[in-house]
Amino acid sequence: MKSHVWRPLWIVLGLVGLILLLRPLIVPSDFGTGERGFMYGYHRKGNEEDWKAIKVKYRSKEYCKDCHQEKYDSNMSSKHSIIQCENCHGPAVDHPENPEKLVIDKSRALCIRCHAYLPYEQSDRSKIKGINPAEHNPDMECSMCHDPHKPNLGG
Amino acid sequence: MKFSRRELLITAAKGALITALPMGAIKFLEPKEVMAEIKGPGKVRWAFLVDTYKCVGCGLCVKACKNENEVPYDTPVTRTWVERYIIKKDGEMLADSPMGARDGFTENKIRETAVDPKDIAKAFFVPKLCNQCDTPPCVQVCPVGATYQTTDGVVLIDRSWCIGCGYCIMACPYGVRFFHPVHKVTEKCNFCYHRITKGLNTACVDACPFGARMIGNLKDPNDPVTKIVLTERVGVLKSEYGTKPQVYYLGLDENVR
Amino acid sequence: MTAETAQNAEMVVHGLEWTVKELFTYPNEFIYWTIQIVMYPFLTGLVAGAFVLSSLYHVFGQDDLKDIAKFSLLFSFALLLVAPMPLLFHLQQAQRNWEVMLTPHFTSAIAAFGMVFSVYMAIVASEIWFVHRKFFVEQVNDLRNKEGIGNAILRIIYSVLTLGAHDISDAALHKDERAVKMLAGIGIPVACFLHGYAGFIFGSVKANALWMTPLMPVIFIMSAIVSGIALCLLTFVLIMEWQKWQISRHGRRHWQMSADEVKGAEIDMVKKVSKYLIGFLVAAITLELLDLIFRGYTAVKSWDILRSVIYGKDFVNIFILQYTVGNLVPFILLLLPGLTVKRAVLSTLLVLFGVFMMRWNVVIGGQAFSLTFAGYMHYHLPIIPHNLETFKEGLFGALLMGGLPFFFFWIFNKVIPSLKYK
């Protein structure tokens, strides 16, 4: 084995050794094969917690109820009770601290997501009361006549 | 090798017991309990149920998802989207999903062309999201272990480890993956992992006024999603790829891509 | 709000810039793998091909290939250094590339590719070392008596290159020869494996109807050898011509042949090499056609959209540019009797173009249709770059990749003259 023929091999082995030595210094210690095995579970364990730690932004109706009981009750007695407050008011995040005020979307564009009539009888879309946005008071905000919380006119 | 009668009896009894065990499992356990056992250890296996009959194409789920998961609102890429299918009476299939239906569907037009209502044989909406496959091909092909599946079945992406080669995007038959415009790593729906692990619904499930979307735990036999998956006729997307997708659809049409 | 606006400024949806969508596609679908992913198998193919050509001499004793063998070995090393660069250019997080070596996920074809690539690099580097060791030692001895900083630096470089092995006795050199033969022998399957792997990267993507075929690795190997031989032949002829021109201008130097000798050696070589070229070309085309016929005959679900791409949208790219201009025309040119150097040069250029188009049609063509099978995507190569991304994944990024091997070879050739004759 003293022959010069082996020198390139020693260099290659040296490089491999170097990589193996460096690996523990660079790769996070929690990197490895998880419960799902090597094919589907090879990862940095800490990343699962990273994802869990993401901030929840949409808090849902129950979060709003405590302070806005009146609006909540009014809404819950109408057909729009199925709609989340935050679909129009925007994500609460840490409201009222942050943001202090929510930006309310009162646009026609929001209403016609459901209420623009589409002739699709096989989908529940056609069961929703629909209008032709181009003909039904096109220059007016829907909320001028319809209360978004309790939309039935006069009801 | 010689058996004494006693040993022989014991061995025979053991053998009978072993062969009988699986039979016993079927006999004494509810089907859903057996299913939960087959699905492997652990207490949770997240799965999704989409009721295409209930979807009206309002796109509120897409809007909520983009905000909740900070996918830049004005880009076409999105973690979840809604597709519209119109099947005409002559058999022609028309489909679209402009901006992933972020603003819903408000006109009876596909790519600027109006569709005559008289020509429509059937039309419906189909929400799409990551299928959190049991055998995710996207995870299989990641060269560095930056995307992986958790024990509860959700496929996650390590944003600090992804090299951005795009191989996972190529490997997904459902087109759910994309490069995040800000983080410059692959991104996709993860069933709002930060919400479901806190006992909340996903943002899209909460945002849907019509109950077209449900998330549940397949290993809980009393979970509403599990009950429907086990007792009703559900379909999955592109099963021919062997990915074992875990987003189940009620009313899935053969035209759905 | 200001923070958000700032964020918007640097926001780029990868792929949006160069993708035009048609009919029904999923919202997240874009051409994600672009020109650099075309360059990558093209360059890897050239590496493999160049190595196989050099091995024809080293292993199979094709003595008339001796000169081109020495050259193509060094050239394949220059190509080898560039081969992974398109991948680096294409990565969104290129600074993390080392993860492929440190946390390789071997179920991914790309991860295993990193390892195969390194092994191959070691083999080629070692082979070059064995072939040139005698030369290194001689240089160290020659330069010992010469003065000047340039010579001192050169001497240090050569000393390092000898790796301390100064024994150039006949016995030692004989050992070198045996080592070269062995390495070239191991190198052939590794070269094929390396490039077969590049094919596997595509062929194993089950989500892509055009890519997924077990034939893909074999097709890639065959076209790799074709393109590698063609490029070596082309470069070799060009260098020979340049030398002839030099000789006619400056007169012959002590180690050079006369212009006529060069010319004679040149045409012999060209004839011999083009025979191998034709052989591998036939194999490559046969496999590609077999793939096409099989797809049409079995006509599974994806065939409708594939057919509309192959016979419709990409017809010119596939049948005119790739098969006719890139395969059929050079095939005829090489087969016609009385092959001249000029005709061979034209043929090799066309062959190289044909193989490039084949890579293009696989990589870009594979993304030309939507996963919905109901829509298309068109790729518009960014020409004039207006940001880093349109440079990296545009024409100039690709040209840079295409030019780098020649630059590296030029550098290497300063230290290891692979074009000298005795």
One DSSP character per residue, B141-173 reads T-SSS-EEE-TTS-EEE-TTT-----HHHHH-T
What's the CA gap between C78 and C404, in Å, rounded?
Answer: 8
Based on the number of CB atoms within 10 Å of its own CB, is C367 exposed (0-12), middle (13-18) or buried (19 or more)? buried
Which of B63, B68, B104 is the closest to A57 by Cβ? Answer: B68
| Chain mean pLDDT for chain B | 89
Is the pLDDT score of A11 beyond 70? Answer: yes
Chain C residues bordering chain A (beta-carbon distance below 8 Å) = 98, 101-103, 105-107, 122, 125-126, 129-130, 163-165, 167, 172, 175-176, 179
pTM of the model: 0.89
Structure confidence by residue, pLDDT tens digits, A48-82: 999 999 999 999 999 999 999 999 999 998 999 99
Structure confidence by residue, pLDDT tens digits, B172-224: 999 999 999 999 999 999 999 999 999 999 999 999 999 999 999 999 999 99
Structure confidence by residue, pLDDT tens digits, C70-107: 888 888 899 999 998 999 999 999 999 999 999 999 99
Structure tokens at C42: 């093209």
Residue-level pLDDT at C5: 44
Structure confidence by residue, pLDDT tens digits, C314-365: 999 999 999 999 999 999 999 999 889 899 999 999 999 999 999 999 999 9
| Chain mean pLDDT for chain C | 88
Could C163 and A4 be called an inter-chain contact, meaning their C-beta atoms sit closer than 8 Å? Answer: yes
Is the pLDDT score of B12 beyond 60? Answer: no
CA dihedral sign of residues C253, C258, C263, C266: negative
Q: With bands split at pLDDT 50, 70 and 90, how would you rate the model's confidence at C404?
A: very high
Estimate to the nearest angstrom the gap between the alpha carbon of C311 and the chain centroid: 28
Structure tokens at C291: 């793939």
Continuous segment of H or E residues that includes residue A40 = helix A37-41
What's the CA gap between C96 and C164, in Å, rounded?
Answer: 35
Could B144 and C96 be called an inter-chain contact, meaning their C-beta atoms sit closer than 8 Å? Answer: yes
Q: Where are the domains of chain C?
A: 215-379
CA dihedral sign of residues C408, C410, C414, C418: positive
Cβ-based contacts of B145 with chain A (< 8 Å): 31, 42-44
Interface probe, candidates B56, B85, B139, B256, chain A, greatest A C-beta count within 10 A = B56
Q: Where are the domains of chain B?
A: 5-30, 137-187
Could C108 and B140 be called an inter-chain contact, meaning their C-beta atoms sit closer than 8 Å? Answer: yes
Q: Does domain B137-187 have CATH number 3.30.70.20?
A: yes
Angle at A86 between CA A82 and CA A91, to 5 degrees: 150
